[in-house]
């Protein structure tokens, strides 16, 4: 995505949004609908319930048990009964709802966001913004056309120490950056194999699959393990990894998020199970004067640089420049300068803010009430760009070859097979539209 396009979006959205201010609920609180009530969705319920700006007005999930559990949470936390829906389209029809917070599986992110924008709702959507590159573009187009505030759940962009680190990079603290590294070392166990069964009572399997192909129900394709199937997820590069990919782009600031070339390799090692996505993956994105190098490891591993492990996992970023290097991670950042690698800057945030999503959600609610997209710390454009790199890496991995791209066109160069993987074949009626 070109930077000029970002500026145009901010100007257009600001102008349109001033004419599209929602009518807020009781006591000028934002009436929220939470769509997707699994583990992450329940985190949304718990976090928003603690923000005085938010009123949890409606809930939606295809799993009746999850819906009832979340409704009980709202009753306990906010003292009222939220409306309950199995089909998000019915929630989006509700005029009381000002905005939605989306914690569905990845393959539903785009269509939910587009439908919400068309219904006049603002959107907080979990990462990755999209399930494929085409979807990210359509989400941006929907936000522009309808003047909606669309925030992606890239919480790092609301963390003070990471904001400070990125400002230091922009100011040239390590000189010209030649490489941004993203590390996603998350130990994950084998998911095993689960048989085909009938969908349990209370689960609307057709609605769960939505845009994805119809498949027989298995417990591994449901609940959390949908991440590891290409129909519904994007592997760990698009799960945990998209956070670090976003920081790579944030710090490197290339003219276009699309590189000139992408090459990705790896595999699924050790485990004999149902998982389709790799548990080890390496990707290199070539920008000509700099590169992004990304690595996923879901098995036993050692660390890199001075980034600390959190339990059995390590996630973070390294930036390498002409004058020094920076490491940035959930627990802080450190800058090393010169040949002797002397520490020039260091920051360690308080432990209780590292994993707290509320500041990011509060930022979204501020933009909903102000109608100013410049208040968003993680715009849909930034989120779409980060997700796109994950998708490009997966396309290279699945095709087994290095791919050339046209950054201006946002597509591959002379490669119809790769271009076809920028989107997917949608299952009617759950179709992400070509024209917004």
Give the start-to-end residue ranges of the domains of the chain: 3-157+356-379, 160-352+386-413
pLDDT digit string, tens, across residues 49-69: 999 999 999 999 999 999 999
pLDDT in tens, 59-95: 999 999 999 999 999 999 999 999 999 999 999 999 9
The Cα 302–Cα 166 span in angstroms is: 26
In whole angstroms, how far apart are CA 436 and each of 113, 118, 145, 348, 431? Answer: 12, 9, 8, 44, 12
Say if CB 268 and CB 292 are below 8 A apart.
Answer: no
Residue-wise pLDDT for 351-388, tens only, equals: 888 889 999 999 999 999 999 999 999 999 999 999 99
pLDDT tens, position by position, 4-19: 344 444 444 444 444 4
Q: Can you give the pTM of this predicted structure?
A: 0.94
- Given a cut of 90, whether residue 173 has pLDDT beyond it is yes
Q: What is the pLDDT of residue 154?
A: 97
SS3 58: strand
> CATH for 3-157+356-379, among 3.40.50.720, 3.50.50.60, 3.90.550.10, 3.40.50.970?
3.40.50.720
Which residue carries 């599209």 as its tokens?
20
Pick the closest to residue 423 from 133, 163, 21 (CA basis): 133
pLDDT of residue 351: 81
Reported in sequence order, the residue ranges of 13-119 that DSSP labels E, i.e. its strands, are 30-35, 54-60, 83-85, 99-102
pLDDT band at 350 (very low <50, low <70, confident <90, very high): confident
Residue 35 has pLDDT above 90, yes or no: yes
What is the distance between the alpha carbons of residues 106 and 351, in angstroms, rounded to a whole number?
29
Find the angle CA(142)-CA(143)-CA(144) to the nearest 5 degrees.
90
Please give the pLDDT value at position 11: 44
Answer yes or no: is pLDDT of 427 > 50: yes
Superfamily covering domain 160-352+386-413: Dihydrodipicolinate Reductase; domain 2 (3.30.360.10)
Per-residue b or e along 204-213, where b marks 16 or more CB atoms closer than 10 Å to that residue's CB: ebebbbbbbe
> Residue 79: which residues within 8 A CB-CB, separation 6 or more?
none
Per-residue 3-state assignment (H helix, E strand, C coil) for 297-343: ECCCCCCCCCCCCECCEEEEEEEEECCEEEEEECCEEEEEECCCCEE
As a whole number, mean pLDDT of residues 97-112 equals 98
Per-residue pLDDT, 4 = 39
What are the beta bridge partners of residue 180? Answer: 292, 319
pLDDT at 2: 43
Of 10-19, 37-46, 140-149, the range with the lowest mean pLDDT is 10-19
Mean pLDDT computed over every residue of the chain? 94
Own/partner pairs, 301-309, CB within 8 angstroms, 24+ separation: 301/185, 301/187, 303/185, 304/181, 304/183, 306/334, 307/183
User: 25: Cβ–Cβ under 8 A, 6 or more apart, which residues?
Assistant: 31, 55, 57, 96, 98
pLDDT in tens, 182-193: 999 999 999 999
């Amino acid at each position: 995505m070109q930077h000029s396009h970002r500026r145009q979006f901010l100007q257009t959205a600001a102008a349109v949004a001033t004419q599209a201010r929602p009518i807020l609920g009781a006591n000028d609180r934002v009436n929220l609908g939470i769509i997707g009530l699994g583990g992450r969705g329940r985190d949304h319920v718990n976090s928003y319930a603690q923000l005085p700006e938010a009123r949890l007005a409606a809930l939606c999930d295809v799993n009746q048990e999850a819906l009832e559990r979340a409704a009980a949470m709202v009753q306990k936390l906010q003292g009222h009964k939220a409306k309950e829906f199995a089909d998000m389209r019915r929630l989006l029809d509700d005029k009381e709802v000002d905005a939605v917070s989306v914690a569905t599986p990845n393959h539903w992110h785009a269509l939910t966001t587009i439908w919400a924008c068309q219904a006049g709702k603002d959107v907080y959507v979990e990462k990755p913004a999209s399930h494929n590159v085409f979807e990210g573009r359509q989400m941006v187009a929907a936000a522009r056309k309808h003047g909606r505030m669309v925030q992606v759940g890239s919480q790092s962009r609301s963390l003070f120490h990471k904001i400070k680190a990125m400002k230091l990079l922009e100011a040239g603290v390590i000189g010209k950056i030649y490489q941004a590294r993203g590390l996603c070392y998350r130990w994950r166990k084998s998911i095993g194999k689960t048989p085909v069964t009938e969908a349990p009572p209370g689960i609307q399997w057709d609605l769960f699959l939505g845009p994805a192909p119809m498949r027989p129900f298995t417990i591994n394709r449901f609940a959390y393990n949908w991440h590891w199937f290409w129909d519904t997820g994007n592997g760990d590069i698009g799960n945990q990894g998209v956070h670090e990919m976003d920081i790579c782009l944030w710090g490197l600031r290339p003219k276009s998020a699309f590189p000139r070339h992408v090459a990705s390799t790896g595999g699924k090692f050790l485990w004999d199970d149902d998982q389709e996505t790799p548990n080890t993956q390496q990707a290199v994105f070539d920008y000509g004067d700099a590169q992004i190098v990304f690595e996923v490891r879901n098995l036993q591993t050692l660390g890199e640089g001075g980034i600390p492990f959190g339990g059995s996992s390590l996630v973070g970023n390294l930036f390498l420049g002409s004058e020094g290097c920076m490491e940035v991670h959930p627990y802080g950042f450190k800058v090393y300068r010169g040949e002797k690698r002397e520490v020039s800057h260091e920051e360690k945030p308080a432990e209780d803010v590292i994993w707290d999503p509320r500041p990011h959600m509060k930022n979204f609610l501020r933009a909903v009430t102000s109608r100013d997209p410049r208040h968003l710390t993680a715009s849909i454009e930034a989120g779409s760009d980060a997700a796109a790199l994950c998708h490009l890496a997966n396309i290279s991995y699945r095709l087994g070859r290095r791919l050339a791209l046209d950054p201006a066109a946002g597509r591959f160069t002379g490669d119809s097979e790769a271009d076809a993987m920028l989107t997917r074949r949608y299952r009617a009626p759950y179709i992400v539209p070509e024209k917004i």
